[in-house]
Amino acid sequence: MSNIIKPKLIIHGGAGSSLKGKGGLEAVRKSLHDIVSEVYQLLLEGKSATEAVIKGCELLENNPRFNAGTGSVLQSDGQIRMSASLMDGEKQKFSGVINVSRVKNPIHLAEKLQLEDDRVLSDYGSAELLRELNFPIYDPLTDLRLQEWIEERKENFTKKMAGVVAESEAGRGTIGVVALDTQGRISAGTSTGGKGLERIGRVSDSAMPAGNYANAYAGVSCTGIGEDIIDECLAAKVVIRTSDGLSLQEAMKKSITEALENKRDLGAISLDRNGNIVWGKTSEVLLAAFHDGKNIGDCLEWDNDELIGSIDIL
């Protein structure tokens, strides 16, 4: 019989430049901590890392505070197009959907694609899959997102990004979950509504291994400016460096330092098979929370001068 491992979990609700006011901070903290608590309970009950990641992403997509699922931002033409991916680290299998509309939980489409030969679908293919699965048609638009778009339209989209959760920017708005289960399996999931006001058809990092990657050694979910994450190939880079022998802390620090030198705007959360929890960022704020096996914590007020933070196993 295999040894039972103490599960670990880390989630994020995006990155940004500020958390203005305690009201914003405490509201975000409660949202993240509540989700960590619910998902960690599943891991304690023996659910797989993949099941936990799917549930965590679903809960984050359902919270209009975050730019994924309900509450996604609008593209320049006023439409919502979402992307999501799931990676099963044990099977080292990636699946995802790109620029899908009219679905409540894009992560559920990524889940279904784990069983398919063709595992990453674009907008048209995602719409076909949605019909095949008979998922109910759903409008993820919120009044806040519509008002943001209308205000930007008045200014002819002169601002680069719309506003998003807790005064951070939509361009950095993503949600993600990385889990380690009792069997030592790792999975990662990432979902986003995109930059906001972007060119029609623009593809984010969230449905690429650049933004979401896992194997038997580690798992990473990224947030920030998608193009910056793609240019660094951040998630895959951290995981592969861990596979090649660096500790997760070393792999994250090296990768985030490189990103800083290249003037990237991003953040990442990660777990390894030993139960280490590590996060990193070049942005000022990373909306992340975790369960270290004993307590729930977060890095919402984490020192901006540090590139990485970690919870090490004892």
Strands 120-121 vs 93-100: parallel, antiparallel or unpaired? parallel
- Report how far residue 96's alpha carbon sits from residue 191's, in angstroms, rounded to the nearest whole number: 9
Please list the residues that pair with 176 across neighbouring strands.
Answer: 12, 190
Please list the residues that pair with 84 across neighbouring strands.
Answer: 97, 191
- Report how far residue 93's alpha carbon sits from residue 95's, in angstroms, rounded to the nearest whole number: 7
Q: Contacts by 20-23 with C-beta closer than 8 Å and gap 24+?
A: 20/166, 20/167, 21/167
In 218-252, which positions are buried (b, 16+ CB within 10 angstroms) versus exposed (e)? bbbbbbbbbbbbbebbbbbbbbbbbeeebbbbebb
Report helix, strand or coil for 239. helix
Please list the residues that pair with 268 across neighbouring strands.
Answer: 222, 280
- The answer to whether residue 142 is catalytic is no
Name the active-site residue from 50, 70, 158, 174.
Answer: 174
DSSP string, 253-292: HHHHHHHHHTT--EEEEEEETT--EEEEESSSEEEEEEE-
Residues labelled as active-site residues: 174
